[in-house]
Amino acid sequence: NPGSRFSFVETRDLGGSIPARLARIKSLQLGEQFYHDIPVSLPLNSNRYQQPGLAGSLGNGLLGRQRVTFDFPKQRLLIQNTFKRRQMVGGFGFRLAHSNVIEVVLPGSPAQQQGLQVGDRIIAVNGQKAGTAYQIWPRLFINKRVQLTLQRGQQLRDVVLERAHFLPVLN
């Protein structure tokens, strides 16, 4: 049962919260383009997919690097690569709430290895005041390595995270 190896998280989309497994695909071909280490989300129970575990989502980690055009009259999807690098950059392994509080830490992730916990608040990123969650994410996205100042209770703590491919590979 491949589902037993995955990290379970609550993901959100326009339809609300969805319990899901996270994994990665070692390689993927879209047309003539090949990509490597693609993160995927596989819903546990959802009437959106007829075969749970066999259908899921390729997040914006891949599609955010593409120009995607839906040609509805011709019933086709056009994908144009806008990014030179085909290797996905990996992740830090946490999800941040709007209040700068960490709401999920993924098992085996750099965040877990450095001791981040649900409820920690990000105070600074690379020595600069954190600002809002919307200001934090772009700073995280562009860096392979990041220093976070965290507040846990009354204590402040600095940690350094480096992106990694920690999700289990989907065969």
Select the more confidently predicted residue: 3 or 83: 83
Domain annotation covers residue 64:
no
Residue 53 is predicted with a pLDDT of 47
**Domain endpoint, select from 59, 80, 107:** 59
Do residues 167 and 110 lie in contact, with contact meaning Cβ atoms separated by under 8 Å?
A: no
Domain co-membership, 114 together with 54: no
Contact 169, 26 (CB under 8 A): yes
Q: Does the predicted TM-score (pTM) go above 0.85?
A: no
Same-domain status, 165 and 104: yes
Judge if 98 and 41 occupy the same domain: no
What CATH number has the domain bearing residue 140? 2.30.42.10
Length of the chain in terms of residues written? 171
Q: Render pLDDT for 70-115 as a digit per residue (tens, 0 to 9).
A: 888 988 877 777 666 555 567 898 888 888 999 888 888 999 999 9
State residue 4's pLDDT score. 44
Asked whether residue 14 is assigned to any structural domain, the reply reads yes
Question: pLDDT-derived band of residue 2, with 50, 70 and 90 as boundaries?
Answer: very low
The neighbouring-strand residues paired with 35 are 28
Asked if the structure places residue 81 within a domain, the reply is no
Residue-wise pLDDT for 8-51, tens only, equals 555 555 556 666 677 777 787 877 777 777 777 777 665 544 45
The HSE-up count of residue 138 (CA atoms within 13 Å, CB side) is: 4
Evaluate whether residue 79 is within a structural domain: no
| Upper half-sphere CA count for residue 107 (Cβ side, 13 Å) | 9
pLDDT at position 1: 38
Structural domain contains residue 19: yes
Residue 78 lies in a domain: no
Question: Residue 85 falls within a domain, yes or no?
Answer: no
Mean pLDDT, residues 126-155: 90
Strands 94-96 and 102-105: antiparallel
Q: Which domain holds residue 109?
A: 94-169
Please count the structural domains in the chain: 2
- Give the tokens for residue 142: 């562009």
Give which of 20, 153, 36 is closest to 87, Cα–Cα. Answer: 36
Same domain, residue pair 54 and 102: no
Q: From CA 104, how far away is CA 119, in angstroms rounded?
A: 9
- Same domain (yes/no): 36, 98: no
**Is there a domain that residue 69 lies in?**
no
